[in-house]
Structures are given as structure tokens and as C-alpha cells.
């Protein structure tokens, strides 16, 4: 790290748990963020400001006026532009010393697999079950830790699915692919603006912890927030031996 980097990251370097060694791990890391919307915005903000060396931001959508209530990466001037490109612009303004790759694509199959394989940690910040399951499959296949977040109305959920641990569940152990879950999205249900900030920031915290290798992750726990009462709760999530995604993977 040069003098400018030592200054920029000094408040992290001051933490015994991170120090110079941890900051160097962050600079060497590559985080893949699926979705540059409500959850992806705060997550990407903190990962970029904290010095994650490479961030790939994937979103096939464009900025809409209805997004601006909560998707804080984007601005009024950028309505109509690609969310990935808008996000890249914001992140580079905060931290021009990192690399941000913007992909305006809906990724799946071999393309998704390749992106996941090259990532240190993956953040699922999307809004539909088809993508969530595709991202989970790629993370299980490549043993890359997945930080999953969801927010709708006043309800938020966060968990980590870390297949580097043979006992840890995957996303599909909790939400089986063959089970019918109705996609509920903010477009029809509404969402409390700061809720996505809380959930997305928590995803960033889990990603940073996983990269540096500190503390205890949310693997095996589903953390839930009811923002009406601001009550947090968590339940244990066990690996399902019959899971069609990770059951044969071990
Ligand atoms: Zn599983």
C-alpha cells in the first residue's frame, strides 16, 4: 500500500481485527454483486469505500424514477441509463483507486459460473427466485461464499451460505428449488427505503468479514428484521442432506 492508501484506509487499519494484513486482503479481493438496486447500492458503496480491489456489478436494468426512493447509487440525472454503468460511476467517484466492472446483463449458465468462479465472495442483491437459485448453484459448484439479502415491505432477511464448510447449508436447503415461492417484488408490494440500506449494509459487513477472515459469519443462521418494531430475530438453518443442489456436492 502507498501512503495515500494507508491514509484512506487508516480507520480500518487501526482495528486489530483488520490491520494492514486485512486491508491487503480486501485490496486483493474480487466481489461479485448481482443486482445494482436497493440492496446492491449500499452494499457496493461500503465495499468500494472500504477498498475491495475489484467489484463486478451486474444488472440488466436501467435507472427508473421509481428506483430513486431507495437505490442510492443512482441519481435523477441518470434516469434511463444502465444501473451497472451508473453504479460504476458513483463507486469510482468515491474510490477511484479500485477497479469496478459494470455488466449490463442478465447472467445465467456458463457466463454466471465463470463470474462466480473468479469471485472471492458473491452478494445476491437481486429480486427474483430464478436468479437467486442460479447464483446459489454457481456458488455451490465453485465453493464460493454467498451473502444473500432480501427486503420487502418492512421485512428483511440476511444469511451467508458458505460451501467451503461441508456442514453449512446452501440457499436451496432453506428455500428448495422445487417449492413454489411467489416472487414478490418492490414494484407491486412496496418497500421501506432505509430497510434496503440496513440489509444491504449488513451484506457488505458479512462480505468484508469473510474476506478478512474475522468474527463469525451468518452461515447456518437466517437473520430477520421487522422494521415496524425494529426487532431482529434469527433462526438456525441446517444443511438438508437431500438438497438437490448441495446434497451430492459433498
Ligand atoms: Zn443445499
Residues annotated as catalytic are: 186
Element (H, E) at 110: helix 109-117
Span 118-173, pLDDT tens digits: 999 999 999 899 999 999 999 999 999 999 999 999 999 999 999 999 899 999 99
Span 200-243, pLDDT tens digits: 999 999 999 999 999 999 999 999 999 999 999 999 999 999 99
Residues present in the chain in total: 250
Mean pLDDT of the chain: 95
The confidence score (pLDDT) of residue 139 equals 98
Considering the entire predicted model, what is its pTM? 0.96
Q: CA 55 from chain center: how many Å? A: 11
The confidence score (pLDDT) of residue 125 equals 98
The confidence score (pLDDT) of residue 178 equals 80
- How many angstroms separate the alpha carbon of residue 138 from the centre of ligand 1? 12
Q: In the chain, what are the helix, strand and coil shares in percent, each to the nearest 5? A: 40, 20, 40
Rounded distance, CA 156 to CA 196, Å?
A: 8
The confidence score (pLDDT) of residue 245 equals 95
- How many angstroms separate the alpha carbon of residue 177 from the centre of ligand 1? 10
- How many angstroms separate the alpha carbon of residue 132 from the centre of ligand 1? 13
C-alpha cell at 134: 442460479
Span 99-121, pLDDT tens digits: 999 999 999 999 999 999 999 99
- How many angstroms separate the alpha carbon of residue 163 from the centre of ligand 1? 9
What's the rounded mean pLDDT across residues 43-57?
98
Amino acid at each position: 500500500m502507498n501512503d495515500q492508501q494507508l491514509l484512506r484506509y487508516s480507520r480500518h487499519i487501526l482495528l486489530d481485527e483488520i490491520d494492514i494484513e486485512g486491508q491487503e486482503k480486501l485490496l486483493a479481493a474480487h466481489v461479485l454483486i448481482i443486482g445494482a438496486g436497493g440492496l446492491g447500492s449500499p452494499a457496493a458503496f461500503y465495499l468500494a469505500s472500504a477498498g475491495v480491489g475489484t467489484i463486478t456489478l451486474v444488472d440488466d436494468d436501467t435507472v427508473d424514477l421509481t428506483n430513486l426512493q431507495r437505490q442510492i447509487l443512482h441519481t435523477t440525472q441518470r434516469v434511463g441509463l444502465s444501473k451497472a454503468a451508473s453504479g460504476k460511476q458513483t463507486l469510482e467517484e468515491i474510490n477511484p483507486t479500485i477497479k469496478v466492472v459494470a455488466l449490463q446483463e442478465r447472467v445465467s449458465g456458463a457466463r454466471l459460473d465463470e463470474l462466480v468462479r473468479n469471485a472471492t465472495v458473491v452478494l445476491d442483491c437481486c429480486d427474483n427466485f430464478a436468479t437467486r437459485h442460479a447464483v446459489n448453484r454457481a456458488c455451490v459448484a465453485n465453493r464460493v461464499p454467498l451473502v444473500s439479502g432480501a427486503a420487502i415491505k418492512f421485512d428483511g432477511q440476511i444469511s451467508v451460505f458458505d460451501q467451503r464448510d461441508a456442514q453449512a447449508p446452501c440457499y436451496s436447503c432453506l428455500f428448495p428449488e422445487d417449492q413454489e415461492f411467489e416472487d414478490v417484488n418492490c414494484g407491486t408490494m412496496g418497500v421501506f427505503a432505509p430497510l434496503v440500506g440496513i440489509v444491504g449494509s449488513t451484506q457488505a459487513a458479512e462480505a468484508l468479514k469473510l474476506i478478512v477472515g474475522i468474527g463469525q459469519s451468518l452461515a447456518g443462521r437466517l437473520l430477520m428484521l421487522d422494521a415496524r418494531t425494529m426487532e431482529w430475530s434469527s433462526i438456525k438453518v441446517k444443511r438438508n442432506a437431500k438438497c438437490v443442489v448441495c446434497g451430492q456436492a459433498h
